[in-house]
């Protein structure tokens, strides 16, 4: 089981290592980590820390995409969750109340998306586009169009604090990733989600409650988006309805794609998507550390990502496979005869 | 007269390997102009692989292909089409949402001054299709015509684009008798013009009706090529299976069904199936007979709750129930093997193992996963009991042959230990061997006390296993036949006479 997972995520691991080495090349101190004032410091820690929002989003996005759906609203949900949390603490509430309120807002958003997709059969891209546009408006209504700042220690801790020396966002995304992976793989949830993503009609006829499953994946997506929103708001000590999570849904989708998950649904790997999120953040880091003028950032990022996707494309994969087959053909040039002999025996019996 | 000395196509020693297994082993195939050459074999024998290797859809690992004496090396269906080899697949590979002439001319539309010349396209479509005995409006959407006509359009397209060899991969699988006639007359027309036609099918009657010679494949090898006028159906079946097949005979022991388990009164759904009554008892098989579109599939769907009924009452063991979703039906221990395996049955990318346990797991709910040991036990048991041929239960189910997919779907439902099992066309598109196995499985399940509803377009099959037969026509139940009445003639008569026989 572990072996299979490892083989599945091997390409992502290799790419991550390459990009990290690229970081090292442009900035030799990249792998240096030190412990100061009860907190881990270092560029590698920054990658893990800054990658938290996209990593969290990619967990939910992986499940949604596995059902052949997509959730464009996660960026807007982040803004809503940040706004809700900020308004609770500025209204005198505690950080825990604020967190719960933000998570409930995320679940409500997920429920909205899920009901539209599962019960009203609205195409996911359209259904979630509604909230992508409207959600930011909702967030602006909550913050009354201003950047709502706060000084609540507890809430700020979620974005800027540490747990046992590790920045809180890292702990949160690692915990969420582990939790969701365990839940979907230790129960039958993962298989059933894959089944409806591959063939929903057949799955429904096999007795699978596809509606409940669809709503569930959008709920998870809304939940992790809310967590990401709280982290981003806590990090800047304020809720910015206009910019929090802006375009982040696209990074989340990209993380899932880099993770080798098909946008057509079906088989999925959350671990691979999380690695995808880290790859994106490492790419950001390379650009930053190389000291390139900031106007080059987006173009270079696009180029690096194109290279990654081309390496993963079926055409290149097939070429690599052929190359490997050729290399090993010196060992056994003749096709294996055993299966045929076995087949003949089966037919005879 | 057929054995003219000059073959149009000669394939020699075709090899194809898949990941260590041999799919084709030095296969020879020779086609003469003007002949219909049947390609026969069980599912997984290598028929499709051979066709794909010939047309270049697969890269062959050995052997030569000669067309009119010159060696060719097509690297894809388009290239083989240019050489003169056209292929028509079972599922019509056309665009239903475009017009008939668009479909015929897609990719080689007549052009006038850089623009599509629609007028000429429609005119030529009309001419071409007239040659096939079709007088249809080329401007209409293809989907507005029957599958048979679509099939003929597909053939016409293939012939126009190629012209020497036409490969028909199960062209008649979803056609009724009249429609088959239409396709056959087209084929006869083409062979009279000197084309060579390769005909792949599971229907041996049709093979003998139209083909001149047949090549039989078994496990990737050619086991014989026969002139059909020299052999009997039994000879061919023997070649395909390597042993004699028992004729399916009607069992006499249908006398004592048990208690009524399901009772439907005035059950129906507007626009799908007129209200009908059905009493289903333990240990009996109720057959559903009727032509294509007569309401067999609709009856199955309404009972399983795929569409919920808007008329009538249902009682399960005397208790009223509402059957309005497959999930409820599954809970109440119903099972349904749907007609269209590919779209409604298998979950292609999931493994065979996962497909088999899917319904059982769905009934348990996602929070209670089946234990790995239990899964293995179930999968091993049914793979063995139903003789599902696979390399590994971990392989995606879409890689299995049709018959094995069907067995895996049966396994999925048997694993849920159903009281009522509904089978919609359980033997469609599967080979002779698996066919007989599924019929004997139905017998066995009935003897064990299961209640079965089986819809089938094959009368002999219904006669073989049904305790009672409901005859459907125009989405209405017109007749119930029981006991001695169950004969092919009576069923056919009831279908053709419709209500007047009731």
Nearest to A343 among B219, B348, B359 (CB): B219
pLDDT: which is higher, A76 or B175: A76
Distance (Å, whole) CA B419 – CA B413: 10
Partnered with residue B278 across adjacent β-strands are B264
Give the domain CATH number at B88.
3.40.50.300
Give domain status of residue B196, yes or no.
yes
What's the pLDDT band for B152 if we cut at 50, 70, 90? Answer: confident
Q: Does A208 touch chain B (CB under 8 A)?
A: yes
* Pairwise CB contact (< 8 Å): B22 & A337: yes
Smallest Cα distance from A123 to chain B, Å: 20
Mean pLDDT, to the nearest integer, of B216-240? 85
| In chain A, domain spans | 7-291, 292-330
Q: Does A199 touch chain B (CB under 8 A)?
A: yes
Whether the per-residue pLDDT at A16 is higher than 60: the answer is yes
Q: Using an 8 Å Cβ cutoff, are B62 and B15 in contact?
A: yes
Whether the per-residue pLDDT at A331 is higher than 90: the answer is no
Q: Using an 8 Å Cβ cutoff, are A194 and B346 in contact?
A: no
Among the listed residues A159, A62, A217, the one whose alpha carbon sits nearest the alpha carbon of residue B366? A217
Percent of chain B scored above 70 by pLDDT? Answer: 92
Task: Tell me the HSE value of B145 on the side-chain side, using a 13 A CA sphere.
Answer: 26
- Determine the pLDDT at residue B250: 59
pLDDT in tens, A201-246: 999 999 999 999 999 999 999 999 999 999 999 999 999 999 999 9
Give domain status of residue B36, yes or no.
yes
Give the number of domains in chain B: 1
| Domain membership of residue B59 as a residue range | 9-97+141-241
- Determine the pLDDT at residue A187: 94
pLDDT in tens, A296-319: 878 888 888 888 888 877 777 777
ipTM score here? 0.82
pLDDT in tens, A23-36: 999 999 899 998 98
Mean pLDDT, to the nearest integer, of A173-182? 97
Smallest Cα distance from A321 to chain B, Å: 12
Residue B466: phi, psi to the nearest 5?
-80, 140
- Determine the pLDDT at residue B19: 62
Average pLDDT, chain A: 89
* Pairwise CB contact (< 8 Å): A192 & B362: yes
pLDDT in tens, B254-303: 557 788 999 999 999 888 889 999 999 999 999 998 876 678 889 999 99
* CATH tag for A7-291 (out of 2.40.70, 1.10.3470, 1.10.10, 3.30.70): 1.10.3470
A344: chain B residues, CB-CB within 8 Å: 219
Q: Using an 8 Å Cβ cutoff, are A308 and A258 in contact?
A: yes
**Number of other residues whose CB lies within 10 A of the CB of residue A6:** 11
Q: Does A182 touch chain B (CB under 8 A)?
A: no
- Determine the pLDDT at residue B1: 46
What's the pLDDT band for A280 if we cut at 50, 70, 90? Answer: very high
Which of B19-28, B69-78, B242-251, B434-443 is predicted with the least confidence, judged by mean pLDDT? B242-251
Among A61-70, B188-197, B333-342, B430-439, top mean pLDDT goes to A61-70
pLDDT: which is higher, B60 or A231: A231
- Nearest residue in chain B measured CA to CA from A335: B20
Whether the per-residue pLDDT at B474 is higher than 70: the answer is yes
Predicted structure pTM score: 0.75
Q: What single string gives the DSSP state of each residue in B456-468?
A: -S-HHHHHHH-SE
A328: chain B residues, CB-CB within 8 Å: none
- Determine the pLDDT at residue B422: 96
**Number of other residues whose CB lies within 10 A of the CB of residue B79:** 14
* Pairwise CB contact (< 8 Å): A205 & B344: yes
């Amino acid at each position: 089981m572990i072996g299979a997972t490892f083989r599945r995520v091997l390409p992502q691991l290799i790419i991550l290592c390459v990009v990290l080495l690229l970081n090292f090349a442009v900035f030799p101190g990249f792998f240096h980590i030190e412990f100061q004032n009860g907190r881990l410091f270092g560029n590698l820690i920054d990658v893990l820390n800054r990658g938290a929002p996209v990593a969290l989003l990619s967990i939910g996005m992986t499940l949604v995409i596995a059902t052949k759906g997509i959730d464009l609203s996660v960026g807007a949900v982040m803004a809503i969750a940040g706004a809700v949390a900020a308004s609770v603490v500025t209204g005198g509430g505690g950080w825990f109340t604020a967190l719960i309120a933000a998570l409930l807002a995320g679940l409500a958003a997920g429920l909205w998306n899920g009901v539209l997709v599962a019960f009203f059969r609205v195409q996911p891209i359209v259904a979630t586009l509604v909230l992508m546009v409207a959600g930011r408006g909702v967030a602006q209504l909550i913050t009354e169009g201003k950047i709502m700042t706060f000084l609540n220690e507890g809430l700020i801790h979620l974005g800027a604090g540490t747990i046992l020396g590790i920045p809180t966002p890292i702990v949160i995304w690692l915990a969420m990733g582990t939790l969701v992976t365990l839940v979907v793989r230790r129960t039958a949830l993962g298989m059933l989600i894959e089944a409806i993503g591959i063939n929903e009609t057949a799955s429904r006829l096999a007795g699978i409650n596809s509606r409940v499953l669809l709503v569930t994946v959008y709920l998870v997506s809304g939940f992790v988006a809310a967590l990401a929103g709280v982290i981003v708001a806590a990090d800047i000590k304020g809720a910015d309805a206009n910019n929090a999570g802006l375009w982040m849904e696209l990074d989340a989708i990209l993380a899932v794609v880099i993770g080798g998950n098909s946008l057509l649904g079906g088989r999925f790997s959350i671990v691979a998507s999380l690695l995808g999120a880290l790859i994106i953040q490492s790419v950001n880091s390379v650009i930053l550390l190389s000291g390139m003028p900031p106007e080059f950032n987006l173009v270079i990022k696009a180029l690096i990502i194109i290279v990654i996707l081309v390496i993963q494309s079926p055409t290149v994969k097939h070429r690599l496979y052929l190359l490997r087959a050729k290399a090993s053909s010196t060992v056994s040039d003749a096709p294996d005869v055993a299966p045929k002999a076995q087949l003949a025996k089966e037919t005879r019996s | 007269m057929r054995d003219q000395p000059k073959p149009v196509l000669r394939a020699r020693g075709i090899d194809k390997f898949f990941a260590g297994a041999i799919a084709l082993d030095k296969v020879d195939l020779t086609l003469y102009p003007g002949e219909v050459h049947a390609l026969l074999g069980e599912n997984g024998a290598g028929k499709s692989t051979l066709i794909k290797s010939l047309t270049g859809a697969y890269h062959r690992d050995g052997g030569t292909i000669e067309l009119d004496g010159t060696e060719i090396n097509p690297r894809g269906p388009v290239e083989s089409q240019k050489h003169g080899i056209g292929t028509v697949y079972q599922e019509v590979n056309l665009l239903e949402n475009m017009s008939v002439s668009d479909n015929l001319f897609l990719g080689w539309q007549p052009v006038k001054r850089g623009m599509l010349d629609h007028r000429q396209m429609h005119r030529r479509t009309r001419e071409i299709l007239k040659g096939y005995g079709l007088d249809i409006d080329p401007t209409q959407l293809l989907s507005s015509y029957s599958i048979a006509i679509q099939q003929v359009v597909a053939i016409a397209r293939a012939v126009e684009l190629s012209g020497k060899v036409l490969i028909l991969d199960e062209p008649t699988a979803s056609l009724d008798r009249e429609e088959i006639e239409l396709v056959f007359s087209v084929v006869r027309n083409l062979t009279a013009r000197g084309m060579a036609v390769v005909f792949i099918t599971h229907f041996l009657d049709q093979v003998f009706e139209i083909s001149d010679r047949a090549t039989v494949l078994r496990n990737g090898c050619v086991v014989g090529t026969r002139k059909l006028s020299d052999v009997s159906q039994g000879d061919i079946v023997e070649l395909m299976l390597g042993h004699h097949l028992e004729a399916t005979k009607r069992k006499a022991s249908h006398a004592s069904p048990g208690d009524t388990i399901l009772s439907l009164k005035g059950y129906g759904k507007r626009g799908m199936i007129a209200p009908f009554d059905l009493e289903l008892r333990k240990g009996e098989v109720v057959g559903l007979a009727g032509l294509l579109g007569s309401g067999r599939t609709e009856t199955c769907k309404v009972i399983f709750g795929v569409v919920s009924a808007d008329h009538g009452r249902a009682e399960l063991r005397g208790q009223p129930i509402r059957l309005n979703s497959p999930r409820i039906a599954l809970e109440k221990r119903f099972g349904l093997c749907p007609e269209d395996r590919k779209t409604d049955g298998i979950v292609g990318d999931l493994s065979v193992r996962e497909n088999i346990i899917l319904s059982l797991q769905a009934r348990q709910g996602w929070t209670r996963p089946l234990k790995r040991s239990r899964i293995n036990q179930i999968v091993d048991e049914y793979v063995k009991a139903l003789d599902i041929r696979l390399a590994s239960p971990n392989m995606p189910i879409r890689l299995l042959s049709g018959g094995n997919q069907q067995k895996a779907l049966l396994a999925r439902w048997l694993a849920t230990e159903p009281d009522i099992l509904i089978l919609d066309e359980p033997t469609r598109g599967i080979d002779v061997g698996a066919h007989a196995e599924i019929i004997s499985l139905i017998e066995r399940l009935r003897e064990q006390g299961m209640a079965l509803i089986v819809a089938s377009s094959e009368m002999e099959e219904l006669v073989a296993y049904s305790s009672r037969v409901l005859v459907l026509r125009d989405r209405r139940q017109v007749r119930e036949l029981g006991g001695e009445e169950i004969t092919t003639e009576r069923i056919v008569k009831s279908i053709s006479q419709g209500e007047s026989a009731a």
